[in-house]
Amino acid sequence: MTDSKIDVWNPATEAKIDEVKAFTREEVADAVERAQRAQREWVALSFAARQQLLYDIADTVMRHRDELAQLESQDVGKPMRAALAEAESVAGVFRYYAGAIDKLSGESIPVDGGVTLTFHEPVGVVGIITPWNFPLPIASWNIAPALAAGNAVIVKPASLTPLSTRRLGELVEEISPVPGLLQVVTGGGGSVGSTLIEHPGVRKISFTGSTEVGRSILQSSAQDFTRVTLELGGKSANIVFADADVKAAAQAAPWAVFDNSGQDCCARSRILVQRDALDEFLEEFVSATDALRVGDPGQLETDLGPLVSAEHRDTVLSFIDDDLNLLFKGRAPEGKGHWLAPHIALDESGATRAAREEIFGPVAVVIPFDTEQDAIRLANESVYGLSGSIWTGNVGRALRVARGVESGTLAVNSNSSIRVQTPFGGFKQSGIGRELGMEGLRGYTELKSVFLNGQS
User: Is this prediction's pTM over 0.85?
Assistant: yes
What CATH number was assigned to the domain covering residues 5-232+430-449? 3.40.605.10
Residue ranges per domain, the chain? Answer: 5-232+430-449, 237-419
Q: What's the number of CA atoms in the CB half-sphere (13 Å) around residue 434?
A: 18
pLDDT of the chain along its 456 residues, tens only?
446 899 999 999 999 999 999 999 999 999 999 999 999 999 999 999 999 999 999 999 999 999 999 999 999 999 999 999 999 999 999 999 999 999 999 999 999 999 999 999 999 999 999 999 999 999 999 999 999 999 999 999 999 999 999 999 999 999 999 999 999 999 998 889 999 999 999 999 999 999 999 999 999 999 999 999 999 999 999 999 999 999 999 999 999 999 999 999 999 999 999 999 999 999 999 999 999 999 999 999 999 999 999 999 999 999 998 889 999 999 999 999 999 999 999 999 999 999 999 999 999 999 999 999 999 999 999 999 999 999 999 999 999 999 999 999 999 999 998 999 999 999 999 999 999 999 999 999 999 999 999 987
- Which pLDDT belongs to residue 322? 82
- Which pLDDT belongs to residue 13? 97
- Which pLDDT belongs to residue 3? 60
For domain 237-419, give the fold: Aldehyde Dehydrogenase; Chain A, domain 2 (3.40.309)
In the residue annotation, 67 being an active-site residue is answered as no
Candidate list 72, 86, 231, 435, residue with the active-site label:
231
